[in-house]
Amino acid sequence: MTPLVHSFIAHFGEMGSRWGINRTVGQIYALIFVSPQPLCADEIAETLSYSRSNVSMGLKELQSWRLVRMKHKAGDRREYFDAPSDAWEIFRTLAEERRRREMEPTLSMLRSALLESPTSEEDRVAQERMRGMHDLIELMSTWFDDVQRLDAPTLAKLMRMGSRVQKLLELTGQLKSGSKE
Amino acid sequence: MTPLVHSFIAHFGEMGSRWGINRTVGQIYALIFVSPQPLCADEIAETLSYSRSNVSMGLKELQSWRLVRMKHKAGDRREYFDAPSDAWEIFRTLAEERRRREMEPTLSMLRSALLESPTSEEDRVAQERMRGMHDLIELMSTWFDDVQRLDAPTLAKLMRMGSRVQKLLELTGQLKSGSKE
DNA sequence: ATCAAATTTCACTAATTACTGAACGTTCAT
DNA sequence: ATGAACGTTCAGTAATTAGTGAAATTTGAT
């Protein structure tokens, strides 16, 4: 393995825990991501010096995140894996999975908590704060969903505009209020 | 503790690991978040049945995330803590901290990897993919920075528009190209 | 049907992370 | 200065998570 690839893989191993995956999974992903061609489990285990079973688990997890795709070669029973290389696609997938795993459970907990009628002042305050949290998470969740539908170039254009969209917003605001008057 | 508050705290404990914090830290935050008034370490340790030292560590971590603020009461040496209750402020803080912890280290690794000249075809491909990743992360990073500067109402308006901003974008595109012709 | 090449499962060990209690340090009222 | 009330640090233990190797299972060619 070249030093360049090695440092990339090592970094993904180290960052893994911050990203909610473990070292192995991070490194397997990094390796697949930079490889010119799909890899099979044995090649991965060999390259990273992990046990075959560990690699098997790691691949399962990466598939559950939809970060790698299984491929088959004609006349070869082994499963090969590669990773989408389009960064926007990766971002979309990651956003969607995080929403599902990190936001949805909380959203449903909050929803049911907000159905209860508060029986004390303490509960009333608590519920009020939960409502604030719920509304924001729901808004972000819908927004994610919504933005996912945009194609990559539009999304990129939008992001590059950054806070300048505010100008645009002000403009439309004026148009609207102008048309009302 | 009321059942309502209890289930909220329990949920944050369980979700903690998915969010990159541990059970204790999640629960401490949840408790502070729903409390009508600031709490001191002893109250927290008592309520959640954690050791005083564990609470001390947890509070340090929450402070490092800027999710809780230290308060002082006149004539009381103890440190009290409360949490910002404005959901937008919380979101902003979280986005900023995540950018700093989860994106920046990778960005700087990628930056230096892209400075190397590839010595093989393998490296060339790897570097190409790294560039795609780098460019996206940088774009998102700048976008975060940018969007942070918007005030909460504008941000909310923008998110509620969701994918409908695309229409707006098309409109401006037309205006621009129209003015050129 | 049988075998060989794969993948997966699982019980076990290793490594890491979380948590505690005791010791230590600091601050402030007396 | 003394000591009580806090907050912090740290070494040790508990709990959790990661990783392994052997056994079990699946798959497909013969």
Instruction: Write down which residues 58-87 in B have CB closer than 7 A to strand D.
Output: 59-60, 76-79
What is the number of CB-based contacts under 8 A between chain A and chain B?
162
Tell me what pLDDT residue A181 has: 39
pLDDT at B176: 56
Contact B169 A158 (CB under 8 A): yes
Radius of gyration of chain B (CA): 23
Angle subtended at Cα A177 by Cα A173 and Cα A179, rounded to the nearest 5 degrees: 120
Nearest to A18 by CA among B14, B60, B17: B17
Assess contact for A23 and A52: CB atoms under 8 A: no
- Do the chains contact at B5 and A123, CB–CB below 8 Å? yes
Q: For chain A, what is the mean pLDDT?
A: 92
Is a pLDDT exceeding 70 seen at residue B2? Answer: yes
Of B57, B94, B62, nearest in space to B81 by CA? B62
pLDDT score recorded for residue A153: 87
Burial code of A58-78, b = ≥16 C-beta within 10 A, e = fewer?
A: bbebbeebebbeeeeeeeeee
Task: Look at residues B3, B34, B65 and name the one whose alpha carbon lies nearest to residue A134.
Answer: B34
Please state whether strand C lies within 7 Å of residue A40 at its CB atom: yes
Does domain A3-82 fall under CATH 1.10.10.10? My reply is yes
* Pairwise CA distance, residues B149 & A162, whole Å: 10
State how far the Cα of A118 lies from the Cα of A120, in Å rounded to an integer: 6
* B40, containing H or E segment: strand B39-40
pLDDT, position B175: 62
Q: Which nucleotides of D are covered by protein (CB under 7 A)?
A: 5-10, 17-22, 27-29
Residues of chain A neighbouring B119 (CB-CB closer than 8 A): 2
A120 and B2 in contact by Cβ < 8 A?
A: yes
List of chain A residues with pLDDT < 50: 178-181
Q: pLDDT tens for residues B130-171?
A: 999 999 999 999 998 888 888 888 888 888 888 788 887 777
What is the dihedral angle through the alpha carbons of A19, A22, A23, A28, rounded to the nearest 10 degrees?
-90
CA B138 vs CA A105, A125, B134: distances in Å:
30, 40, 6
pLDDT of residue B177: 56
Q: A102-118: string of b/e by CB count within 10 Å (b at 16+)?
A: ebeebeebbeebeeeee
B64-112 pLDDT per residue, tens: 999 999 999 999 999 999 999 998 899 899 999 999 999 999 999 999 9
Model confidence at B179: pLDDT above 60: no
* Gap between the terminal Cα atoms of chain A: 69
B9-25: pLDDT as tens digits:
999 999 999 999 999 99
Retrieve residue B105's tokens.
């280290």
Domain locations in chain B?
3-82, 87-149, 155-181
Is residue A79's beta carbon less than 7 angstroms from any atom in nucleic acid strand C? yes
Measuring from the CA of residue A52 to each C1' atom, give the nucleotide at the shortest distance: D20
Chain C: positions less than 7 Å from a protein CB are: 5-10, 17-22, 27-29
Nearest to B109 by CA among A8, A23, A91: A8
Which nucleotide has its C1' atom closest to residue B16's CA?
C18
A42 touches strand C (CB under 7 A): yes
- Using DSSP, how many helices (H) and how many strands (E) does chain A show? 9, 3
Shortest distance, CA B50 to any CA of chain A (angstroms): 22
